Amino acid sequence: MNNNMHVALMMGGHSAEREVSLRSGEAVKEALLSHGHQVTTVNDTEALKQLDQPVDVVFNILHGADGEDGQLAAWLNREGYRYTGCDHLAGALSWYKDKAKVLVADAGVLTPQAQCVRHVDDLAVQSEGPWIVKPAGEGSSVGLYKANDSEQLKQAVVAALSVADMVLVEDYIDGTECTVGIVDGVVMPVVAIVPEGELYDYQAKYQSQQTQYLCPPPFEAAWQDGLKEDAIKVFNALSLSGWGRVDFIVDDQGRRWFLEANTTPGMTKTSLLPKAAAVHGWSFEVLVDKILGTAFMGGGDD
């Protein structure tokens, strides 16, 4: 990617994932500066509009709804900015986990049975549990709970609805959580996650010192190849582009269950995608440059 560009780095924002975005943004900023770019950090579109210097490219590292539900991409597209990430349609399809699961299942990828509810009285689960409860539109495992019985399930739904308007009640799959990153068409090595506790929740992601990340994972090569193939199917099914990360659970029979797609993954130097990129042979600085190189120009009609 050409250096000496003016990059507007969108970081922080106003979502529940603000602190994670700030940490990602600081790491990305350092890498962009190392490539010789001029970097201006902005919190939202209002701050972007107020810049008095032309912007060559917008690097979106806003996590959560601020940067991943498709609305930001739609605005950048309408205003004619060149930006990283996917377009607004792919962003919306990926953000709303219930919609993503339907499209991914149609593409032939396994995904746990689930129900979307807006009120605890809407619960009508078909299985006997346990279940995972999480917001239908949120990231960083915000509002993630496991319920082992019907009473716990109701409590978990009430708790999750306190941070989201709609939650996903999903059959719990016992297995190992894995993730596969894709950057500019390059499929990264598989990362397996072994949390300190039972769930890879917010605490396990950002606070625990005991969570283990195994890259390559302790799986046979055929399972890893299957995860990579499924990640490509998910990207295509959700019309994703540029860069992103797809999360799965692999059970003890080697079945691969799609969980969700992340269109703006964490980019701290210890985040999952940078870990995989390092095994692939890319430094953090190279990874950031590769992502910047995927930026595309929005139209003006949407």
pLDDT digits (tens, 9 = 90+) for 267-282: 987 799 999 999 999 9
The verdict on whether 140 is a catalytic residue reads yes
Among 12, 66, 170, 245, which one carries the catalytic annotation?
Answer: 245
State the pLDDT at residue 297.
Answer: 82
- pLDDT at residue 292 tops 70: yes
Q: Say yes or no to pLDDT of 205 above 70.
A: no
- Return the SS3 of 134: strand
Q: What is the three-class DSSP state of 223? A: helix
Q: Which CATH number fits domain 114-171: 3.30.70.1400, 3.30.1490.20, 3.40.50.300, 1.10.3720.10?
A: 3.30.1490.20
What Cα–Cα distance (Å) separates residue 238 from each residue in 102, 104, 241?
10, 7, 9
Catalytic-role residue among 77, 266, 289, 298: 266
Is residue 67 annotated as part of the catalytic site, yes or no?
no
CATH 3.40.50.1000 for domain 6-85, yes or no, is no
- Give domain limits for the chain: 6-85, 93-110+174-282, 114-171
Distances (CA, A) of 111 to 84, 97, 106, 143, 247: 28, 11, 10, 20, 11
Q: Per-residue pLDDT averaged across 26-46, rounded?
A: 97
Does the active-site annotation cover 266?
yes
CA neighbor of 144 nearest in space, from 125, 174, 164? 164
pLDDT in tens, 164-189: 888 999 999 999 999 999 999 999 99
Name the active-site residue from 68, 138, 260, 289. Answer: 260
- The token pair at 148 is 């082992």
pLDDT tens for each residue of 66-87? 999 999 999 999 999 999 999 9
In this predicted model, which residue has the larger pLDDT, 301 or 289? Answer: 289
Q: Catalytic: 247? A: yes
Average pLDDT over every residue of 40-67: 95
The single residue of 17, 66, 68, 138 carrying the catalytic annotation is 17
Give me the residues paired with residue 117 across strands: 167
Average confidence score pLDDT of the chain: 90
CATH architecture of 93-110+174-282: 2-Layer Sandwich (3.30)
Average pLDDT over residues 55-61: 98
